[in-house]
Structure 1
Amino acid sequence: MQAKARLEQRHSFFGNYPCDARLCHIIRRMQNTLPGAPDAAGLQAPEDSQSWMLRGSRLHAAGQLEQALIAFEKALALQPTDVNAASACATLLSALSRPMAAYKALLSVEALLLETADGAANLAIAAESCGDLARASMAYQRALVLDPHHGRALNNVGLMAAAQSQWEAALECARQCLAQDPAHAPYHVNLSDYLCGARRYAEALAVLEAAALRFPDDLDIRIRTAAVLAFNGDFEKSREARLRFDAATLDYFKDFLSRSIAPAYLDHRLRGPQGQLPDAFQLYTGQAFEAMTVCDWRDNERAAATLRQMLDDVLRTGIGRDWRDAQFYGLMLGMNEDELAQIRRISVARISKDLQSPLPPFVQRQNPVGKRDGRIQIGITVQSLRDERHAHALKRQLALHDSSRFAIHLYSPTRHPEPAHSEMLQAHVASVTEIAHMSDVEAAARMRLDHLDVFVDMTFDTAWCRPEIPELRVAPVQIRQLTWHRHNPPRPCDYNMSDTFVHPDGLDLTPYGAVVRLPHTCWLATHDEAPEAGWDNREKAGLPAGALVLCSVVPSVMLDPQSFAAWMKILRSLPDAVLWLPAYSLPIAANLVREANAAGVHENRLLFANRLSRVQTLACMKHADLFLDTLRFSANQGLEDALRIGVPAITCAGDSMASRLGGSMLRAAGLNQCVMQSPDAYVAEAVRLGRDPQALQQLRQQLLAEKAGAPLFDLAARVREWEAAWAHMAERTRAGLAPAAFDVPASASTAKL
């Protein structure tokens, strides 16, 4: 929940006036120059541009916008270089929700507009509103060349910089605006918002407190103060500030938070509780979690301590919390298994309590399993089908299921779906239902109509996760394909899917729920894309020819400071090594460079990939010498890709499923010796391999030799094992037996491990 700039709204068209004020300014000027021009209702059409302008002005004043626009367009046609006519057309086109047409009107006089600072700023505003950021930037800079103190240009350049997380540039613009016009309250607000964007909360708070003395009744300043106090960890002061809000101010505060903490792209963040106002603790942890997504770990220790304080408060007071975000981010904060298990149990209970559903309780149907058409009915919620990579992998998995035994019903959260999204899967499923437009209750009710035997949630801790749906109960057996945790709350899911590495032999399974152990790995390696041909050398891949290339391909949110610190130790011990990382955004790269410098590693040894297609990235990855798995949350897909194309890897087995899944995958790929049992051993092994090219080459050869028979890459066999688990759970439930732990026998085709 980074304090995103809700910022002052951009100055509108044109000059120093908002839309209508600018037009009124034109009207007054024309009335002074053409006192005898015909009125708006004159029967005779004007013959010159000035008269058409006056007619348009009068029509606009009468509220006849379309007729006024026609008049202004006539004026512009008669005088194509008339900036006032073009500006008037653009003003009305903007008011009529036609921004592109407004922009085109201004482009017709672009050269003239660029002769003045106001004109250049007007053009920039129109360009920006239409997404032409390159021309907008050029025009704003032109305005500032003509007038370095141009307020609108400075303000909007700051906004553009903030939108790209260029906080220092944004702050410089905000300070200049404030110095020029300290009596303008929104400039104080902008400065505080930019400081929040840079996570400099104490400075933002100082700006707001000073502004409050000058503008004591300004709502934007008051509500931001309450939020920034929370971001800064001043929980009691934030609570006190809220208590001073009346009902209208509280509503305004809620609206502000809903906008300022909303993700820019709805498919890029875990959906939070609906309709709830976060308290100061939630605001604080939310911004800390968002910082973690860009590898800003400076507040991690305090965030973990705050979560523990919140957990203690819940256990003491009995007042639960919806912690759907904390159960994920807590893994990267290094919280232990027991703490995370408590967080999950508390979160499930709170989600259940907050549900207000008109649905009747779920009642298990009495028909035998498969009665509907002789097949076991499986319901699966998936991620967005608009993601081609995910859709391709899903299709590959579905094609391998035994359709004579299992009828699979797919539930897709694809926003604005197109027929092609589901058509590619139709041949392999009984049905595809889009649920993005449905409420949780509507989606659950729709799923119940399919009379499912087993419900499989494949969206846990993703942007498409809707934990309310399984809590409403849609099938007699409910499971999550992966949960990243070894503990399983008693509801809403009945079984805890795992494998014999995540929950190894000798581990007392009692605290972990009804654990289903697959024989090799619970990770389904569904991707089969081949690296693009032609990337035959490191030079083309942008990698140094003579260096030891270590790599890790992992989403930034799953990268943690413990892993990065271990990598820096490895680099310090291997002076000829470089670390190749994904094409992270500039803010993420800047944070990692800062961490590397602090660890005594020169930033040139961090190589960030170019933005390439997936198959091109795989082609580049082939040139890496060793893949370094992350410690607290395994790289998963990146690790699978590396192993599939023949890059050896090492991992460290922790205590959670998230940290042990890498070991599960390596074991299933035939590289048992690459699974370390401690961070120190992990670092030592990476250094040993880095100093022994022959050992690295032997690992690569072993990986390629094992690939044909490795369980990790025998997707058909792994799918059969999942089907065996589904069938056993369904039959057990039909027999009236409670969920209980069991092991799934190995598929005969890969029983050699």
Structure 2
Amino acid sequence: MVREPATLPPNPSWRLAHRGAASRLSAWRALERVLTRTSVAPPASRNGPCPCGSGQRYKHCHGLGGAAGPAQQGLPAGAPAADAAPWRSQALNALQTGQPQAAERLARLRLAEAPEDAKAWLLLGLSLEATQPQAALDALEHAWECAPTNPECCFELARLQHATERFAEACATLRAGLAHHPEDALLLNNLGLALRRLGDEEQAESAWRQALGVHPGLTQARANLGQLLVETGRHAAALPLLEPLAKELADAHEYWSSLGLAQAALGRVEPAIEAFAQALRIRPNDAKINFNLGTAYLQGQQLERARTCLEAVHRLDPQDAKAELLLLEIAQRLCDWESYHRLIGKLPDWLEQAESLRPSPHAMVTRPVSGPQMLHVARAFGETLGPLAARPARTPPAHARLRLGYVTTTVRTHPMPPSIAEVLERHDRSRVEVTMYSCGPEDGSPYRPRIAAAVEHFADLQHASNDELIARIRADEIDVLIDLDGYTQFSRCAIFRRRPAPIQVNFLGFPSSLGASCYDYALVDRVTAPPEDPACFSERLLYLPHCYFPSDTRRRPAGPLPSRQELGLAGARFVYCAFNSTYKLTPATFALWMRILQRVPDSVLWMQVGEAVARENLSREAATAGVDPKRLVFAGNAPLTEHLARYPAADLFLDTLPCNAHTTCNDALLMGLPVLTCRGDTFVGRVAASHLLAVGLPELVTEDLAAYEAMAVRLAEAPEELVALRARLIEQGPTSPLFDMAAYTRAMEALL
């Protein structure tokens, strides 16, 4: 979705493009010099720098219009000199006051007297630009022919060529002008723009860096280079260029949008919100800005504010399905079932529009979609990340040990480190040389130093561009490269499309196929991805012998566990635990849980819900279902150690559908809490079943919701059965295949 340039006199024009794949906007600056140079006081020497800040010498800039002779003005010998100034001033004034016809008349009168007057041709071209672009181009070309060394003639001709999308011609014109004025920062800036439109990002970057080398404070070049760095993934490098421009571009909403994009991409949520909010103050009815701000609020877990912005998007652009997709996610997170029912009915239409809408697959995994539909969504989304490089010829590894690389942005406070840390520690260094490419921010997580110590090479590349990351991986000669993120927030999955390694693997971070041929394999198990159901994956499947989901068995908390009274559970005869995030909860699942509570007196449902609005909505729904809202006990978020210590206080964990508990299921079983699940129809709905079969509790895997409900009630009414299941879990769990990370790691290495 592309928005055409919007003129911001006397500021540059911009083009905004909606990058739907990442659910955000991308701003590109088409910066132009103002129509005329403003008057400045001449310096002591004409060879000194022009006071206007162009980076040129005065004699080649504002000095061109002074009382110098033709040669000093860049005009050919014999051309008129300063005696033409009065008519020129009148023509310029006519243009600046919106009277192009008067300017045209004055220019033509001058040309009748002096047919080779370059400035008359220049002003004629400018006066014709709005109504007769071809005639204007002809006039500007004639001006340049009359004064081939005049930078103003070069500039204006190239500017109009650019405006009429003749980018190759604009490049040629600007290069010819730079041959005479190699240090003209404005010509260099506009050369960068034309090169950018021709797709030559490397040369465009070079032109802007040259412009800044001549004139470090040139706003246009700083903004253009900063934007290019944003668009090529070099967000950290872009910020020093963009941030100092806040005062100069305070009223340019496009600037604030670009700055917000850079901040958001670096995970700096609050600065991103501030930037987008500033843009919105300037243009409150801009759907794109509202979308950006809503996305940033969502990223920062400010759900009500996110909803306000996205509802504004829907009012301003009712056809914007991306906003509705995010509103559905917010409705689910806030347990707003009325909004959920209104929006979920549009899911079939969204799936049909997947190739044009290209929704985020991560937003779809919790929706009731089939495996083939999920694959279709993933394929469509992948196309937004760039072209696929050719598959390299397969050759046996040339290294003494297998060079294994992991790419992730999640070596921080995130569910990934507690899942993968022990595997990294247990890799056989006599066979495998492991490199972790960490592309995300550092937030003080205790897992970061642990993971850094677990691998042989820890590459902190959070500020690296995609090009730099790819170059590093290739230089390291990685044999097998594992994507631990997939289609999740801030991931670097775009690099995999360019084939930095000969073998590339989808593993763990995204619980489904990535739908792209650049991923050769996916690590799965036979429960989550049954061999008889291959239509759901584009990757070849590598089957681990038991559950595909690894675990950090060393994360069990030490010390005494909190009591029920300390956790707000005093007096409950039976505690059902549901610590899944609310974005996995559906009205049908919650209604099922309410039926269970009705059938089991003196039981409570213990939920981890942080949002006050979600708590209020769930309490209201419970009352509607005939359940006392006081039987819902809400727990807030807690650090990992404290969170794990809570699980033993519950009696039974209730899983969600269509998307199961993943890390949360692993946490519960690690802490000895039995988990009840219903096997789903897709990968995300079979993860808990895979866990339970691997830990030796197949009785807790039901095949339909009626059996799930009956089992939940029976285990509460027959405590001896649950006690036996729990004792078996506590006794056998630590040595079961689910938690035998030594065997898990050996099996994984054998597959690779």
Alignment TM-score > 0.5, same fold: yes
Q: TM-score, normalised by structure 1?
A: 0.56
Change in CA separation of 1:555 and 1:546 when aligned onto 2, cut-off 3 Å = closer
**In structure 2, distance between residues paired with 1:588 and 1:628:** 19
Partner of 1:309: 349
Looking at structure 1, the residues matched to 351 and 298 of structure 2 have their Cα atoms a distance apart, in angstroms, of: 30
The letter of the residue matching 2:634 is: F
1:638 aligns with 2:672: no
Q: Does 1:341 align with 2:375?
A: yes
Distance (whole Å) between structure 1 residues aligned to residue 446 and residue 576 of structure 2: 39
1:716 and 2:742 correspond: yes
**Does the alignment pair 1:296 with 2:343?**
no
Q: Do the aligned residues in 1 keep the contact of 2:656 with 2:677 (CA within 8 Å)?
A: yes
The answer to whether the Cα contact below 8 Å between 1:384 and 1:464 also exists between their aligned partners in 2 is no
Question: What is the deviation of 1:675?
Answer: 0.4
Tell me, yes or no, if structure 1 residue 655 matches structure 2 residue 695.
no
Which residue, out of 402, 422, 430, partners 1:396? 422
Pair 1:624-2:650 in alignment? yes
What does 1:436-585 correspond to in 2, within 5 Å?
436-482=462-508, 489-504=515-530, 507-509=532-534, 512-513=537-538, 514-535=540-561, 537-585=563-611
Matching of residues 5-24 of structure 1 within 5 Å: none
Q: Which moved more, 1:481-490 or 1:600-609?
A: 481-490
Deviations 1:659-714 (A, max 9, x none): 10000000111101110001111111111111111111111112123224311110
Deviation (angstroms), 1:423: 4.8
CA contact (8 A) 2:402 2:479 kept: yes
Match status 1:675 vs 2:698: no
Alignment size in residue pairs: 463
Instruction: State the SS of the aligned residue for 2:324.
Output: helix
> 1:499-537 CA deviation, whole Å, 9 max, x = no partner?
1212336x2435544222211110101243234533363
**Cα distance, 1:718 vs structure 2:** 0.8
Distance in 1 separating the partners of 2:598 and 2:474? 57
**Aligned-residue CA RMSD in angstroms?**
3.5
SS of 1:497 mapped into structure 2: strand
**Mapping of residues 584-623 of structure 1, within 5 Å:** 584-623=610-649
Q: Flag the 1:640–1:420 CA change in 2: closer, same or farther, 3 A.
A: closer
Does the 8 A contact of 1:320 with 1:350 survive in 2? no
Instruction: Call closer, same or farther: CA 1:397–1:345 in 2, change over 3 Å.
Output: same
- Give 1:322's match in structure 2, choosing from 334, 337, 358: 358
Q: Is the 8 A contact 2:420 2:550 kept in 1?
A: no
Q: Which letter maps to 2:356? A: G
CA–CA distance in 1 between the matches of 2:626 and 2:717? 20
d(CA) in 2 for partners of 1:521, 1:417: 30
- After superposition, the Cα gap between the structure-2 partners of 1:700 and 1:557, relative to the gap in structure 1 and judged at 3 Å, is same
| Structure label with greater radius of gyration | 2
Look up the equivalent residue of 1:447 and give its one-letter code. I
Provide closer, same or farther for how the CA distance between residues 651 and 494 of structure 1 changes in structure 2, counting only shifts above 3 A: same
- The percentage of aligned residue pairs carrying the same residue is 28
- The AA in structure 1 aligned to 2:503 is V
Give per-residue Cα distances to partners, 1:253-284, cap 9 Å, x unaligned.
Answer: 544432343246569999xxxxxx99611122
Contact 1:535–1:620 at 8 Å: present in 2 too? yes
Contact 1:553 1:639 in 2 (8 A): no
* 1:409-428 correspondence to structure 2 within 5 Å: 409-415=435-441, 423-428=449-454
Going from structure 1 to structure 2, the CA distance change for 1:259 and 1:538 (only over 3 Å counts) comes to: closer
> In the superposition, relative to structure 1, how do residues 485 and 458 fare at CA in structure 2: closer, same or farther (>3 Å)?
closer
Aligned to 1:167: none
Query: Which amino acid in structure 1 is aligned with residue 343 of structure 2?
Result: A
| Structure 1 spans left out of the alignment, 5+ residues | 5-218, 221-247, 271-276, 356-360, 727-753
Q: What whole-Å deviation, never above 9, does each CA across 1:614-658 have from its counterpart, x for those lacking one?
A: 333333321211111112111122211221221112111011111
1:391 to partner: Cα distance:
4.3
8 Å CA contact 1:332–1:632 kept in 2: the answer is yes
Letter of the structure 1 residue corresponding to residue 648 of structure 2: K
- Alignment match, 1:434: 460
For 1:434, give the aligned amino acid: D
* Letter of the structure 1 residue corresponding to residue 565 of structure 2: E
Give, in angstroms, the shift of residue 401 of structure 1: 0.5
**Normalising by structure 2, what TM-score?**
0.56
Find the residue that maps to 1:298 and give its secondary structure.
Answer: helix
Q: Structure 2, unaligned stretches of length 5 or more? A: 1-19, 25-251, 254-281, 307-315
Cα deviation per residue 1:329-372 (whole Å; 9 max; x = unaligned)? 3332312223222212222234335x9xxxxx467477631x24
- Change over 3 Å in CA distance of 1:313–1:533 after alignment to 2: closer
Contact 1:486 1:503 (8 Å CA) reproduced: no
Q: Distance in 2 between matches of 1:624 and 1:439?
A: 46
Q: In structure 2, do the counterparts of structure 1 residues 603 and 425 end up closer, same or farther at CA, with 3 Å as the change threshold? A: same
Inter-partner Cα distance in structure 2 for 1:425 and 1:613: 19
Is residue 362–residue 488 contact of structure 2 (8 Å, CA) maintained in 1? Answer: no
Q: 2:296 aligns with which of 262, 267, 276?
A: 262
1:179-225 CA distances to partner (integer Å, 9 max, x unpaired)? Answer: xxxxxxxxxxxxxxxxxxxxxxxxxxxxxxxxxxxxxxxx99xxxxx
Label 1:365 to 1:495 Cα distance change in 2 as closer, same or farther (>3 A).
Answer: closer
What is the DSSP-based 3-state SS (H/G/I as helix, E as strand, rest coil) of the residue aligned with 2:296? Answer: coil
The answer to whether the aligner puts 1:368 opposite 2:396 as a matched pair is yes
**Shift of residue 394, structure 1, vs aligned partner:** 4.0
Tell me the amino acid that sits aligned with residue 709 of structure 2: V
Task: Flag the 1:440–1:488 CA change in 2: closer, same or farther, 3 A.
Answer: closer
**CA deviation digits over 1:37-90, x for unaligned, max 9?**
xxxxxxxxxxxxxxxxxxxxxxxxxxxxxxxxxxxxxxxxxxxxxxxxxxxxxx
Counterpart-to-counterpart distance in 2, 1:495 and 1:268? 37
Contact 1:502 1:664 in 2 (8 A): yes
- In 2: Cα distance, 1:419 partner to 1:616 partner: 15
Cα 1:251–1:303, aligned 2, differ >3 Å: closer, same or farther? closer
**Counterpart Cα distance in 1 of 2:444 and 2:596:** 47
For residues 654 and 484 of structure 1, the distance between their equivalents in structure 2, rounded to whole angstroms, comes to 17
Give the conservation status (yes or no) of the 8 Å contact 2:412–2:445.
Answer: no
Give the corresponding residue for 1:58.
none
Q: Does 1:287 align with 2:327?
A: yes
**In 1, distance between residues paired with 2:674 and 2:418?**
25
Q: Give me the whole-angstrom Cα distance separating, in 2, the residues matched to 1:458 and 1:544.
A: 41
Pair 1:351-2:376 in alignment: no
Give the letter for the 1:624 counterpart: A
Matches within 5 A, 1:194-273: 253-263=287-297
Would you say the 8 A contact 1:266–1:463 is kept in 2? Answer: no
Give how far 1:419 is off: 12
Match of 1:244 in 2: none
CA contact (8 A) 2:553 2:739 kept: no
Secondary structure of 2:469's aligned partner: helix
Q: Is the 8 A contact 1:550 1:580 kept in 2?
A: yes
Partner of 1:176: none
Checking the alignment, whether the CA contact within 8 Å between 2:485 and 2:510 is kept in structure 1 is no
Partner of 2:365: 331
CA distance in 2, matches of 1:611, 1:488: 30
2:411 aligned with 1:382: no
Distance 1:390 1:615 in 2: 15
Look up the equivalent residue of 1:499 and give its one-letter code: D
Distance between the aligned counterparts of 1:392 and 1:691, measured in 2?
A: 35
